[in-house]
Amino acid sequence: MSETRNWLGEKSDRRRFLRRLAGAAACTAAGGVACGRAAAAPAVAAVDPALAALMGDSGSSDFGQTFDDASRTIRMPKLSAPTLSPQTADITAQAVTTYDNIVARGGWPQVPPVDELHIGMRHPSVVDLRARLAMSGDLDPDAVGNDVYDSYVEAAVRRFQTRHGITPNGILRKETLDAMNVSAATRRDQLKINISRLKTLTTNLGPRYVVVNIPAARVEAIEHDVAVSRHTAVVGRPSRPSPDINSKIMEINFNPYWTVPVSIVRKDLIPIMEKDPDYLISNHIRIYDARHNELQASQINWYSEDAVHYTFRQDPGDFNSLGRVRIYFPSPYGVYMHDTPEKNLFGGDFRYDSSGCCRVQNVRQLVYWLLDETKGWPPEAIDQAIESGEQINAKLVTPVPLHWVYVTAWSASDGIVQFRDDIYNRDGLGIPVPPQTANL
């Protein structure tokens, strides 16, 4: 944490760091020709350590340091490459041409069903797996033709998993296999659908903005076309989707109260209270009438719609549904970005579990960046505000543009093509959604 504070606290160092990353990103987009050492940008300082491991970016632009030399021609997505930049739509259009060529050659082969494959195994399906990974550029074409699941295959599977938002453990199970067996034509069409979205989303972005990509369940703080901070997120479940939003982050609320939205009172709170009359007390939620008089739960008829006419407010604390931090921005949807007491939700691949809000892992790092240009709010003051337990508000001196977007396929400045599940079925391509999300 101290490294993050120092990096964010020294503005001149931070600006130099951003220029170095921006130069490296430009080299990557140009193919790295004659870029020399500039292509090997340092890892982003203010990024979740777990996410850095997930993306396989430890300060090297190669695929990884533990694999044979032949696999180093295959690049992993870079942590510094933002999902949205002025170039994203054009780079994604170039990817469509690549996929057109794959489709014209007959697409990639289907990998036969198998329970599990991992390094050291030998299986006939590995022959098809190698061919499949080579067709999508995840495996060196010279490494095809045998049935051994060796380090080359494991590295290629990890790269494929990273590009599809799956935990890159290098093991082939049903989830990874299902993503592999989506046809090249369907993936090409998915890219085409997202180009129109990207063209709309990547104009007039400005130098400093935050992006929540809902299908990726990921938050990015972007400055001068560099993702300086990236966070795992939890977003709305299919039955309560997170909305598309274009707004501005205006204020940070430390140790906030949470006022329960009427929709959650109706859908969740009333049914819970019918079964557990002590729920409000155990969760520090108070009831107020229209005149701000506090009521007791026993005064409300929970077997009717009576409860929707009252205000339910949860006290600040570690138990609060918003956690210790709320990022406020105006919107007509009544949703926020915030901390959460349920940190375990960040550990899964399928993070679609909220009622529309966006929960942010390591939200404190994002707040450091948001308040970096606001006088009086260095990282130490932010830490003190959080630890005080008091409700404190910090207004940004310059509001930061915020975009909640729905992008399921793209190619960023690193040139790596990425796909995510069409969790809300907005692409209309019939790609099956894993049951872990479909049943939420």
Per-residue pLDDT tens listing for the chain (440 residues): 333 333 344 454 554 444 444 444 433 333 333 333 333 333 334 444 444 544 443 333 333 333 333 344 578 888 899 999 999 999 999 999 999 999 999 999 999 999 999 999 999 999 999 999 999 999 999 999 999 999 999 999 999 999 999 999 999 999 999 999 999 999 999 999 999 999 999 888 989 999 999 999 999 999 999 999 999 999 999 999 999 999 999 999 999 999 999 989 999 999 999 999 999 999 999 999 999 999 999 999 999 999 999 999 999 998 999 999 999 999 999 899 999 988 888 888 889 999 999 999 999 999 999 999 999 999 999 999 999 999 999 999 999 999 999 999 999 999 999 999 999 999 999 888 876 544 33
Neighbours of 34 (CB within 10 A): 9
CB 152 within 8 A of CB 143: yes
Bridge-based pairing state of the strands 417-419 and 218-223: unpaired
Residue 357 among the catalytic residues: yes
CB 84 within 8 A of CB 91: no
Closest CA to 110 of 140, 91, 131: 131
CA 98 to chain centre: 26
Closest CA to 268 of 353, 337, 355, 333: 355
Alpha carbons 409 and 406: distance in angstroms, whole number: 9
Q: What are phi and psi of 271, to 5 degrees?
A: -60, -35
Annotated active-site residue in 164, 231, 338, 403: 338
Q: Cα-atom radius of gyration of the chain, to the nearest Å?
A: 23
What is the SS3 assignment for 145?
Answer: coil
Q: Which helix (H) or strand (E) holds 22?
A: helix 11-29
Helices (H) and strands (E) counted in the chain, each on its own, are 14, 15
Q: Tell me, yes or no, if the pTM score tops 0.85.
A: no
H, E, C per residue of 5-19: HHHHHCHHHHHHHHH
What's the pLDDT score for residue 225?
93
What's the pLDDT score for residue 435?
65
Q: Which helix (H) or strand (E) holds 27?
A: helix 11-29
Alpha carbons 102 and 186: distance in angstroms, whole number: 12
Q: Indicate the DSSP class of residue 295.
A: E
Residue 35 among the catalytic residues: no
Residue type, 394: A
What's the pLDDT score for residue 74?
78
Annotated active-site residue in 27, 231, 357, 358: 357
Alpha carbons 55 and 420: distance in angstroms, whole number: 15
Bridge-based pairing state of the strands 352-354 and 358-360: unpaired
What is the SS3 assignment for 61?
Answer: coil
What is the SS3 assignment for 90?
Answer: helix
